Chain A
Amino acid sequence: MSASGLGYNEQGGEAATEQGQEATPTTAPSVPAAFGLFSSDTKKNEDLKQMLESNKDSAKLDAMKRIVGMIAKGKNASELFPAVVKNVASKNIEIKKLVYVYLMRYAEEQQDLALLSISTFQRALKDPNQLIRASALRVLSSIRVPIIVPIMMLAIKEASADLSPYVRKNAAHAIQKLYSLDPEQKEMLIEVIEKLLKDKSTLVAGSVVMAFEEVCPDRIDLIHKNYRKLCNLLVDVEEWGQVVIIHMLTRYARTQFVSPWKEDGVLEEENEKDFYESDEEQKEKDQKVKKPYAMDPDHRLLIRNTKPLLQSRNAAVVMAVAQLYWHLAPKSEAGIVSKSLVRLLRSNREVQYIVLQNIATMSIQRKGMFEPYLKSFYVRSTDPTMIKTSKLEILTNLANEANISTLLREFQTYVKSQDKQFAAATIQAIGRCATNISEVTDTCLNGLVCLLSNRDEIVVAESVVVIKKLLQTQPAHHGEIIKHMAKLLDTITVPVARASILWLIGEYCERVPKIAPDVLRKMAKSFTNEDDLVKLQILNLGAKLYLTNSKQTKLLTQYILNLGKYDQSYDIRDRTRFIRQLIVPNEKSGALSKYAKKIFLAQKPAPLLESPFKDRDRFQLGTLSHTLNTKATGYLELSNWPEVAPDPSVRNVEVIELGKEWSVALGKAKKEKPTEKFYSDAEEEESASTTDTESESTSESEKEENGKEEGSSMENSESSSEELSDSESESKEGTAKKKFKTIEESDSDDPEKKTKMISKKKESSGSSGSESSSTEESSSDSESESDSESDVESRKPKNAIASKRKEMSVPERKASTKQDVSLLDLDDFNPVSTPVAVPTPAILSPSLVADLEGLSLSRSSVIDVSSPIFVPMKTHELLHRMSGKGLAAHYHFSRQPCIYGNQMVSVQVTLTNTTDQKLENIHVGERKLPAGMKMHVFNPIEFLEPEESITVSMGIDFCDSTQTASFQLCTKEDNFNVNIQPPIGELLLPVTMSEKDFKTEQGMLTGMNETSATITVAPQNSTRLVLLEKVVKAANLGVVPSGQDNIHRFAAKTVHSGSLMLVTVELKEGSTAQLIINTEKTVIGSILLRELKPVLSQG
């Protein structure tokens, strides 16, 4: 084919090309280009020129395709410029596109000719079709011809005001191009950027922030007004834009907010104490603590709005959020990113590499973040070496007293790896673990000594080097090891290792007085054949021995010094001269030689074995600089937190502009698309009605307040509460307090704290009146304010706003009660990735969504089964080892939904072999189950080694009764009768529901479905936290948020029948309480009541 291709070229002309086309339609064009011999090049170009000048589009297209092929190969096609540029106005869209490609590549070289095309683009810029306008701008700005800078500037300005967001997006891209072509336009371009930053379209946001980063990253003031908008738009921006915006906002936040880290420790400590103290004291404490730090609501907004992005499919977005959390979030919250980062490790090699590096840096500072994922970093033999070493690095960083034994066992496998480079790295890692964790130093040392007899030299050498370092840290009693190593000198050849051994013998020559001189003798013999490194250490050894044991070694040392004197390397000659002067006293040597011994045998500090990632934290995570560990061009330093936060009011937006454009929204009218329709369009559409109400009221109140309270730059939290309109009944302090609570609330993931915080919130609500339940403060100042206003009139639109924020723009919500709003807000504080920790929220919103979207969802989906709040670790004995002839079995309830069946309770059985023989074929034999009960048994265990244990899971359907499940546990030889009787609390699955739903359900379950009792509550159980803890420990119940301080509600459903089980604890005066249980299953209800009574009344 190639031959024919060339043939046609020589003939030239149209006929030829047409023939060619018929024969090989698409592939032909690129082939001749690929065969571009220089000689035929000119001829071929002639041919192409003719084709381009032909009348037929097909010929032109063909020619253009070949030219693009040439460009792609990196061949020069610039001489065709005049012929190509003529076709810029072609009607054929593909020819046009290819001409554009050509222009972008060569316009810079042929500036004069390129000007010919400009008028075409100028015309296209006025085209009614937005896509044509956009592409014209794209090409025009890509032609790097300085003469047209003014034209470009004009075009950009016009495009930035275009009605189409797509054109505006392209304008944002054009800004960067113009800036790189002519930096003098900076000022004008910044004006355009400022304008585009105000844009509310998600299409534009990413591109304009990119332009901002490239043109004027230091103009942080441009961001202020747009900060909140960017935070809110973030979820809907396309993924690439998200990365850029997140990185920019990280930098921004570091200049604008005060550090959330300093107070962290104090706060937590304080909370810890609260736990044990009585309520009064707690309140006092709260007031004290409140002062030091309250997170700016804008700061919180950013952290909250980026969280969903951890679920992105794009690794870059996940990493960007992770670094944002690392650099901005309170330390207790940063942990939530680890799960997502670990997920990225399943990705491609390159992604793994970058993510592992970042995790390595993180794991040095905050071990706890990745400890639960330790096993995810285990190395596979098929991993590339660079991945292996990074994983090893992380494992080493995560090592602590608790996991070191598992890790060392894992390391043993690695040491034997065929990849010797990795094996050597593992030895280094073992060394580091040994120095960091003193408990295992001896074990490691012994292990390393064993490795000395390894067959592979690299392994031995590395071990020697590491042992040397270890011995240095604790030289006390290791004479034996040194002797052993001295013997190795005969066999080992790696210079570093030999040098290390010699150094050790020299340093501790007094501990091995007999061997040391002998070693020196041997080394003197082989001196001339040694590596330079080794020679230096021989000299060293000689000198040290001369000083300590000159009787035996004087002659030997002098011999060596003589050898050194005539060595080829000047380093060695130099050292020899120096040592001779120092140790051998003669008339010339000065006072120094007196101190020779002190100089040589001084106590040397032990080397610190540190992670190579130690100093990487000076770079922002996720950046190129971090990966390279050097500052890359254009790296923007992350500033330190300011001592005092700059005025937060700069971020208040005055009036939200009316969105002009109605982009072509496909299916925008559809009801069920809350997520994507909300931010970009809905806001614009409805701006007239709701959004404006908000903004205007804000701005008005702002104006008023600013007039009154000028110059009142107080503490962060307070000043923000002050700019708000002040007609409400609440005191400033109260607002500040509430804010503080909110922050706390989202501070942690673990259930315990959560509940604690809820209880705290309750108190605050008690103190600041009923208003405080509608805490909206987190989203924006204006809203928190307006919500707590007692003005009924203004509430309606406000609520609408609130619900809009939740991406459900539905008017019915206007009538919603205060309670609902507060719950709605809580919803946003949920840690995304830890549903387990969320007893309270995520409850109302489902029903909301259901209402709003007009979907008829059944009750069961509203009242959703949630994860258990507490998983008891208590195990019950199934089979004692004495009666089981050495087989011991325990079981516990994992409180997880059973995977074997929906009506089953999952039971984890741990089998332990306490005999000294293998137990074979452990399985479940005959079952004696009451009618209706079912059981899913574990698969037979083939054998259990002595002293080993195995955990298997079973599923048992107890039919909502506490009847015993009896069955036989069999081994190869014996059968044992065992039985499992479930505590009543384990027959339940926790559900989440709202207080409202709870009450409705409770209303339906009265009369004989209700059992109640009055009990005396032990004083220590009267705090909310303790009470919650006790109850969920006793029974697998879900916590229902409660508006009242003294009433606690729990909900669950039975595993088998799914009947609701509602538990209410109402604390009364004088340490009594009313315990009410509503359920259809009255029997279970009364048993549960009986079981809960002692739980609450006993301490």
Chain B
Amino acid sequence: MIHSLFLINCSGDIFLEKHWKSVVSQSVCDYFFEAQEKAADVENVPPVISTPHHYLISIYREKIFFVSVIQTEVPPLFVIEFLHRVADTFQDYFGECSETAIKDNMVIVYELLEEMLDNGFPLATESNILKELIKPPTILRSVVNSITGSSNMGETLPTGQLSNIPWRRAVVKYTNNEAYFDVIEEIDAIIDKSGSTVFAEIQGVIDSCIKLSGMPDLSLSFMNPRLLDDVSFHPCIRFKRWESERVLSFIPPDGNFRLISYRVSSQNLVAIPVYVKHIISFKENSSSGRFDVTIGPKQNMGKTVEGVIVTVHMPKAVLNMNLTSTQGSYTFDPVLKVLTWDIGKITPQKLPNLKGIVNLQSGAPKPEENPSLNVQFKIQQLAISGLKVNRLDMFGEKYKPFKGVKYITKAGKFQVRT
């Protein structure tokens, strides 16, 4: 399926190549560079490119293009999903998926790629198995290795690969047994000029960090599971149990993983926690405009809205901005024309405001459209949908684990049109 993989950085250097079948020359990437040139920015490079003998399917992650070479028909999502899994694995191993991290750990990267695909077909993609096969690098280990001459290759054989629970390592031992769940909800919304909601929905995930010894069998139940409209599961979750009882029952992988992601049924109205008042106008026949934005909390159920950042992609004609903010600091990038206003916490008594003058290029026509505002925020200890974890039970092990649940609401793709 997947013939070869090339990793290309932003300046167009191929810094890694790996072939799973016969070798494909680097020159195949020229087609990719061609397409890249045609697309105005990296976001617009088409993920699937056809060349006379091969097909190139690429993803863009952390300033690296992962370009895979395909020779025959294959579902493109299969390849894309796999490439993202590769990037996730790098992230997991090296803490970041950057060019330097990959170059510094070239051998581990190569070993990983070797294990992840066999003849172009995915073999081991679960991080728990991979970590048994190839130990992730730590500073301590590399020092020890250099002294003792031992390797980062797993000595024990990865029995997990053979089991029915391929996502879990075999022998897990912790002195402190802990299970943490983060319920993170993101509000995707489009707010129109007048402040009414064009579109809003809540997307949530439950990320877990589970450090439990042995082979625990967990079941997590919710106070109001009917809120979850559409759910996707980590393979460890027993589907039948969810279907019948709305209980998440699973033997967890070891470490960090995403348990479920869900969407809250759109029938329920989404409470939008902030409102934005804005006056952005450009004067006709004059090289300046007005900019005045106020942001305030609304329907936040008694919680503070924090980590508020407003980003605005200003029109091309904008030269500079002279603004004063009552709270937080702002920066304007005159090259990318991006205004970022970092507000922090909103206090309802004194609403943060940013206003001032926009300088336009003299002679340039007045911009057609007002830029839309992208808002980021965070509300701790609140799941905006009202979802609540009821209880977590553990079976199969004797000890008593430490359990914790955290709720966070964030802005997802939250856009205010002006």
- Complex formed: what's the CA distance from A628 to B18 in Å? 25
Minimum CB–CB distance for B96 against chain A, Å: 16
B120-155 contacts to A, CB under 8 A, are 121-123, 125, 137, 142-143, 145-146, 149, 151-153, 155
Per-residue CB contact flags for chain A residues 345-362 toward chain B (1 = under 8 Å, else 0) read 010111101110000000
Which A residues are in CB contact (< 8 Å) with B14? 74
The interface centre, meaning the residue of A94, A142, A455, A861 with most chain B CB atoms within 10 A of its CB, is A94
Asked, given contacts A418-B316, A635-B73, whether A896 binds B267 with beta carbons under 8 Å apart, the answer is yes
B311 nearest in chain A by CB position? A382
A841-860 contacts to B, CB under 8 A, are 842, 845-846, 849-850, 855, 857
Asked whether A1080 is an interface residue with its Cβ less than 8 Å from the other chain, the reply is: no
Which A residues are in CB contact (< 8 Å) with B17? 72-74
B107–A240 touching, CB < 8 Å? no
Which A residues are in CB contact (< 8 Å) with B78? 240, 243, 316
Asked whether B269 is an interface residue with its Cβ less than 8 Å from the other chain, the reply is: yes
Asked whether A154 is an interface residue with its Cβ less than 8 Å from the other chain, the reply is: no
Per-residue CB contact flags for chain A residues 855-894 toward chain B (1 = under 8 Å, else 0) read 1010001001111000000000000000000000000001
Per-residue CB contact flags for chain A residues 665-691 toward chain B (1 = under 8 Å, else 0) read 111101011111100110000000000
- Complex formed: what's the CA distance from A850 to B190 in Å? 44
Which A residues are in CB contact (< 8 Å) with B238? 673-676
A73–B73 touching, CB < 8 Å? no
The interface centre, meaning the residue of A21, A26, A633 with most chain B CB atoms within 10 A of its CB, is A26
Which A residues are in CB contact (< 8 Å) with B47? 349-350, 353-354
Asked whether B395 is an interface residue with its Cβ less than 8 Å from the other chain, the reply is: yes
- Complex formed: what's the CA distance from A166 to B166 in Å? 12
Minimum CB–CB distance for A865 against chain B, Å: 7
A129–B121 touching, CB < 8 Å? no
Asked whether B281 is an interface residue with its Cβ less than 8 Å from the other chain, the reply is: no
**What interface size band does chain A fall in?**
35 or more
Minimum CB–CB distance for B239 against chain A, Å: 5
A663 nearest in chain B by CB position? B162
Asked, given contacts A176-B119, A380-B415, whether A939 binds B60 with beta carbons under 8 Å apart, the answer is no
A173–B118 touching, CB < 8 Å? yes
A34–B103 touching, CB < 8 Å? yes
Which B residues are in CB contact (< 8 Å) with A343? 230, 232, 261, 263
Which A residues are in CB contact (< 8 Å) with B275? 942
- Complex formed: what's the CA distance from A894 to B194 in Å? 27
- Complex formed: what's the CA distance from A416 to B368 in Å? 6
- Complex formed: what's the CA distance from A78 to B230 in Å? 53
Asked whether A314 is an interface residue with its Cβ less than 8 Å from the other chain, the reply is: yes
B72–A632 touching, CB < 8 Å? yes
B251–A378 touching, CB < 8 Å? no
A833 nearest in chain B by CB position? B230
B243–A832 touching, CB < 8 Å? yes
Task: From the candidates A240, A342, A899, name the one contacting B268 in the complex (CB within 8 A).
Answer: A899
- Complex formed: what's the CA distance from A354 to B84 in Å? 14
- Complex formed: what's the CA distance from A73 to B196 in Å? 54
Asked whether B110 is an interface residue with its Cβ less than 8 Å from the other chain, the reply is: yes
A924-952 contacts to B, CB under 8 A, are 939, 942, 945, 948, 950-952
Asked whether A535 is an interface residue with its Cβ less than 8 Å from the other chain, the reply is: no
A25–B80 touching, CB < 8 Å? no
A667–B106 touching, CB < 8 Å? no
| 22 A-B pairs (CB sep. < 8 Å) | A30-B104, A92-B151, A203-B162, A240-B121, A308-B239, A313-B233, A346-B188, A348-B80, A382-B313, A455-B366, A632-B55, A634-B71, A664-B159, A665-B164, A666-B215, A670-B215, A673-B164, A674-B238, A675-B239, A861-B245, A899-B224, A939-B299
Asked whether A622 is an interface residue with its Cβ less than 8 Å from the other chain, the reply is: yes
Asked, given contacts A311-B233, A350-B59, A624-B70, whether A131 binds B158 with beta carbons under 8 Å apart, the answer is yes
B244–A849 touching, CB < 8 Å? yes
Which B residues are in CB contact (< 8 Å) with A26? 104-105, 137, 142, 145-146
Minimum CB–CB distance for B57 against chain A, Å: 8
B267–A30 touching, CB < 8 Å? no
A173–B119 touching, CB < 8 Å? yes
B362-418 contacts to A, CB under 8 A, are 365-369, 371-372, 374, 385-386, 395-396, 413, 415, 417
Which A residues are in CB contact (< 8 Å) with B241? 674-675, 849
B33-73 contacts to A, CB under 8 A, are 40-41, 43-44, 46-48, 50, 55, 58-60, 70-73
Per-residue CB contact flags for chain A residues 370-404 toward chain B (1 = under 8 Å, else 0) read 00000110101110111000000000000000000
B80 nearest in chain A by CB position? A350
Asked whether B203 is an interface residue with its Cβ less than 8 Å from the other chain, the reply is: yes
A166-191 contacts to B, CB under 8 A, are 166, 170, 173-174, 176-177, 180
A381–B230 touching, CB < 8 Å? no
Asked, given contacts A26-B137, A666-B168, whether A627 binds B48 with beta carbons under 8 Å apart, the answer is yes
A349–B43 touching, CB < 8 Å? yes
A680–B107 touching, CB < 8 Å? no
How many residues does chain B have at the interface if contact means C-beta atoms less than 8 Å apart? 135
Task: From the candidates A210, A351, A636, name the one contacting B73 in the complex (CB within 8 A).
Answer: A636
The number of residue pairs between A and B whose CB atoms lie closer than 8 Å in the complex comes to: 350
Minimum CB–CB distance for A948 against chain B, Å: 8
B21–A180 touching, CB < 8 Å? yes
- Complex formed: what's the CA distance from A1009 to B44 in Å? 68
B386–A624 touching, CB < 8 Å? no
Minimum CB–CB distance for A1023 against chain B, Å: 30
In the complex, identify which listed stretch (A97-105, A220-228, A1014-1022) lies at the interface while the others stay far away. A97-105
Asked whether B310 is an interface residue with its Cβ less than 8 Å from the other chain, the reply is: no
Per-residue CB contact flags for chain A residues 785-812 toward chain B (1 = under 8 Å, else 0) read 0000000000000000000001100000
Asked whether B336 is an interface residue with its Cβ less than 8 Å from the other chain, the reply is: no
B164–A677 touching, CB < 8 Å? yes
A240–B163 touching, CB < 8 Å? no
In the complex, identify which listed stretch (A61-69, A603-611, A1062-1070) lies at the interface while the others stay far away. A61-69
A346–B81 touching, CB < 8 Å? no
Minimum CB–CB distance for A455 against chain B, Å: 5
Asked, given contacts A26-B137, A864-B245, whether A311 binds B231 with beta carbons under 8 Å apart, the answer is yes
**New A-B pairs, 11, CB < 8 Å, besides A101-B110, A131-B162, A830-B243:** A93-B151, A314-B81, A318-B232, A343-B230, A355-B77, A413-B417, A672-B396, A673-B251, A827-B244, A842-B244, A861-B247
Which A residues are in CB contact (< 8 Å) with B55? 624, 628, 632
B88-132 contacts to A, CB under 8 A, are 103-107, 109-111, 114, 118-119, 121-123, 125
Which A residues are in CB contact (< 8 Å) with B269? 951-953
- Complex formed: what's the CA distance from A71 to B114 in Å? 13
Task: From the candidates A454, A676, A952, name the one contacting B165 in the complex (CB within 8 A).
Answer: A676
Task: From the candidates B77, B198, B369, B413, name the one contacting A316 in the complex (CB within 8 A).
Answer: B77
Minimum CB–CB distance for A582 against chain B, Å: 42
A346–B73 touching, CB < 8 Å? no
Asked whether A108 is an interface residue with its Cβ less than 8 Å from the other chain, the reply is: yes
Which B residues are in CB contact (< 8 Å) with A58? 149
A25–B146 touching, CB < 8 Å? yes
B161 nearest in chain A by CB position? A166
A674–B240 touching, CB < 8 Å? yes
Which B residues are in CB contact (< 8 Å) with A681? 164
A989 nearest in chain B by CB position? B226
- Complex formed: what's the CA distance from A632 to B70 in Å? 10
B80–A354 touching, CB < 8 Å? yes
Task: From the candidates B165, B196, B226, B366, name the one contacting A865 in the complex (CB within 8 A).
Answer: B226
B18 nearest in chain A by CB position? A72
B216-241 contacts to A, CB under 8 A, are 217, 221, 223-224, 226-227, 229-235, 238-241
Asked whether A235 is an interface residue with its Cβ less than 8 Å from the other chain, the reply is: yes
A165–B162 touching, CB < 8 Å? yes
- Complex formed: what's the CA distance from A173 to B15 in Å? 29
A943 nearest in chain B by CB position? B195
Minimum CB–CB distance for A210 against chain B, Å: 6
B77–A319 touching, CB < 8 Å? yes
Per-residue CB contact flags for chain B residues 266-277 toward chain A (1 = under 8 Å, else 0) read 011101000100
Minimum CB–CB distance for B312 against chain A, Å: 10
Task: From the candidates B23, B109, B145, B227, name the one contacting A72 in the complex (CB within 8 A).
Answer: B109
Which A residues are in CB contact (< 8 Å) with B81? 314-316, 351
